[in-house]
Chain A
Amino acid sequence: MTNHAPAPVLIFNRKQWQYVLAAWVVMWIFFFCKDLLTKGYLNDYKELLARPTLEGKRSWVTGDRLYELIQLCRTVIPENATFGYDGIKDQSLSDWRTRYYLYPRLRSDDPDYLIVFGGTAGARPDRGGWRPYKSLDRERFILKKAP
């Protein structure tokens, strides 16, 4: 019985498709090298390789200044306490990374501690009901809710 199924249409012949495959390979290599060189991936990798420890790498991905503050928070804020921010945008990548590293401490709208990262809370004369707790510098410090 004759097979009436139509034959697939390939548009090009074998040689021409080989050129298409070659173009694919060229583009693959091009974009791979382009990212390494123009997007700074090569430098990023060098910097990361220069930080062999886990904490060093975490500091790199988070930002050294923020991660230093997070490390301070981990040592001085009790694990069952809640925290809030001043200077870290809600739902930003810094927000999620901070929550991630500080867990089991939870972020709250009515926190026990306020983490100030370049924010203005510390500059207010009455500090809005907060008192200084721990500090790294004028822009990075932790406030504790006044009793």
Chain B
Amino acid sequence: MKDLILILASQGFALGIGWAFVSLILARNDNRIGRLEMAALSYVIGMGCIGLSMMSFYLLRIPFSMMTFYCPLAGIALVCIFFYGASGRIAPAVGGTAPKPLSTIDVFFIAGIVFGIAYSFFSALIKPMESYDGVGAFAIKAKIFFLARGIPADYFSTIANNFPHPAYPYMVPLQEAFGFMSMGSFNDLLVKIVFPLHLAAFLVLFYCGIKAFTNRRSALMATFLLSSMYEFNRFAALGYTDTHFALYLVIGFLFWYRAIAQGKINAPLVVISGILGAFSYFTKDIGIIAPAAVFILALVYAFQTRSFKGGVWLLFLYGAAFVLAASPWLLTKASAGLTQPFITHKTFDVGVMAPLAVRRVVPVLYEFQTHVFNPKEWNLLWPVFFILFIINWRVLFTAGFRYISIFILVTLAAYGLFYLTVDTVIYGDYGAYAESLKAGMNRHLISVAPLALIWLAVLFKDMTHE
């Protein structure tokens, strides 16, 4: 019970920290966000900031303790509240006309979403950390940091090499370490609460983000479909990084889209998008998709609006937020000489990679179709999405679809490029390559599925209009 109270208090602390930061960012925002969305966003930002702060402590060689960690963060939060409160602006629920009463189908969708969240909590908290990567790649690092009361100064040169993926980003292990330290015990059952909490926040932000440019029914339907997908829900209980990554990538896109959807660029929402993009990069290396996609979207925006200045402003806002938020990880990688093994100099040796990439196309497509036609993992999503996406090729780059279509294509291209060019040293053996495809592709699809649902929500918004 003591551990439960402490872990919940720690998550509440993260929410409070995040609330202060988000309030500061949105203090002069013209687009208000509702309290539920505010709470979800605050939790996500707060936990992300805590992860990055702990990385900063490693750089500054400061051990974690109540005095060195909780108090400074609380102090910074109070300063933010001072400025936010001083501005006199609050982010109340979205104004306008009163919402229509919920229909039977809306209630069904909400019940389905609540069930998905509840089951995620149940399946996460019924057993302690036990999955392969959950234990071997992430929780072990959290344990190391918990026992050492921080990231040891020699961690990257000594201890890290005893366990897999020492150069892998540390967002999730540090959030787990925060949980252990808050409880004061290595309770790898209760620390898993972080994962369903992030799933719940994801679904709330997903709903709110889609509703901002479609309608309530379309947003509820998309959110229900997401929460009811077996693979999406399953990974939220395993202790992997994929739920976190999907959250940062997808919600980051939604905030970016809302930032430009009204015509005038909403700078605070671009900043939030940039921060979430940085979080995605601090969760998985492939999070570099986020700034890469935003770069392309900004070019498209500049072209569409005939505003070069607008495009530059978008890139500057996003880039500044991304770099600032990601700086602890970028500096750590540089100082510790961390390089991930998947992309090396061989990747850019066209003579070596080109024939290998060509040979890999068939196994990649084969593995892909095993997921597309897997109703247990993804229900009907992929056949419905790809058929409609291809049939509607004429509208892909029209208003309403343009940015989400491009984001999906960039994400798919990034994953495709990764599968085709991943370093041959690791995957020179075809058998090992095929195994890694099998293990990895369904996890990568966890971040593509919500994007597909956003696209479908836009497609169906007129049909679902109440």
Contacts of A1 in B (CB 8 A): none
- Tally A-B pairs: CB < 8 A: 90
Contacts of A57 in B (CB 8 A): 126-128, 189
- The answer to whether A133 has its CB under 8 Å from any CB of chain B is no
Decide: A10 and B132 in contact? CB cutoff 8 A. Answer: no
CA distance A81 to B394 in the complex (A): 66
Contacts of B391 in A (CB 8 A): 9, 11
CA distance A28 to B159 in the complex (A): 44
Cβ < 8 Å to B, chain A residues 1-30: 5-11, 14, 17, 20-21, 23-25, 27-28
Contacts of B388 in A (CB 8 A): 9-11
CA distance A109 to B465 in the complex (A): 65
CA distance A58 to B376 in the complex (A): 28
Contacts of A27 in B (CB 8 A): 375, 379-380
In chain A, what residue has the closest Cβ to B132? A93
Given A10-B388, A27-B380, A48-B126, check contact A96 B143 (CB 8 Å).
no
In chain B, what residue has the closest Cβ to A97? B135
- The answer to whether B228 has its CB under 8 Å from any CB of chain A is yes
Contacts of B379 in A (CB 8 A): 24, 27-28
Least Cβ distance of B111 to chain A in Å? 11
Stretch at the interface among A99-107, A115-123, A134-142: A99-107
Kindly identify which residue among B128, B136, B147, B387 contacts A96, using a CB–CB cutoff of 8 Å: B136
Decide: A5 and B399 in contact? CB cutoff 8 A. Answer: yes
Contacts of B230 in A (CB 8 A): 28, 31-32
Contacts of A20 in B (CB 8 A): 380, 384
Decide: B398 and A99 in contact? CB cutoff 8 A. Answer: no
- The answer to whether A49 has its CB under 8 Å from any CB of chain B is yes
Contacts of A14 in B (CB 8 A): 463
- The answer to whether A54 has its CB under 8 Å from any CB of chain B is yes
Contacts of A32 in B (CB 8 A): 230
Decide: B144 and A61 in contact? CB cutoff 8 A. Answer: no
Least Cβ distance of B133 to chain A in Å? 9
Give chain B's interface residue range (CB within 8 Å of chain A). Answer: 35 or more
Decide: A100 and B136 in contact? CB cutoff 8 A. Answer: yes
Decide: B140 and A54 in contact? CB cutoff 8 A. Answer: no
Contacts of B112 in A (CB 8 A): 25
In chain B, what residue has the closest Cβ to A21? B221
Q: Mark B361-380, 1 if CB is under 8 A from A, else 0.
A: 00000000000000110011
Contacts of A62 in B (CB 8 A): 130
Kindly identify which residue among B144, B162, B398, B460 contacts A5, using a CB–CB cutoff of 8 Å: B398
* Most chain B CB atoms below 10 A, which of A5, A60, A93, A100: A100
Contacts of B140 in A (CB 8 A): 96, 99-100, 103
Given A61-B128, A97-B130, A100-B143, check contact A10 B398 (CB 8 Å).
no
- The answer to whether B71 has its CB under 8 Å from any CB of chain A is no
- The answer to whether B172 has its CB under 8 Å from any CB of chain A is no
Least Cβ distance of B147 to chain A in Å? 6
Kindly identify which residue among A31, A48, A99 contacts B127, using a CB–CB cutoff of 8 Å: A48
CA distance A61 to B128 in the complex (A): 8
Kindly identify which residue among A23, A60, A97, A99 contacts B380, using a CB–CB cutoff of 8 Å: A23
Least Cβ distance of A111 to chain B in Å? 13
In chain B, what residue has the closest Cβ to A41? B123
CA distance A97 to B128 in the complex (A): 11
Decide: B163 and A60 in contact? CB cutoff 8 A. Answer: no
CA distance A33 to B177 in the complex (A): 35
In chain A, what residue has the closest Cβ to B375? A27
Decide: B130 and A61 in contact? CB cutoff 8 A. Answer: yes
- The answer to whether B327 has its CB under 8 Å from any CB of chain A is no
Contacts of A21 in B (CB 8 A): 221
Cβ < 8 Å to A, chain B residues 209-233: 221, 225, 228, 230
In chain B, what residue has the closest Cβ to A58? B128
- The answer to whether B139 has its CB under 8 Å from any CB of chain A is yes
Contacts of B228 in A (CB 8 A): 24-25, 28
Decide: B395 and A17 in contact? CB cutoff 8 A. Answer: no
CA distance A82 to B426 in the complex (A): 28
Given A54-B128, A61-B127, check contact A6 B147 (CB 8 Å).
no
- 14 A–B contacts from the bound complex (CB under 8 Å): A10-B459, A11-B391, A17-B463, A23-B380, A28-B228, A28-B379, A48-B126, A58-B188, A61-B130, A62-B130, A93-B135, A96-B132, A100-B135, A103-B147
The 4 A-B residue pairs with the shortest CB-CB distance in the complex, in nearest-first order? A96-B136, A61-B130, A5-B398, A6-B394
Taking Cβ atoms with an 8 Å cutoff, the residues of B that contact A are: 112, 126-130, 132, 135-136, 139-140, 143-144, 147, 159, 162-163, 187-189, 221, 225, 228, 230, 375-376, 379-380, 384, 387-388, 391-392, 394-395, 398-399, 401, 459-460, 463
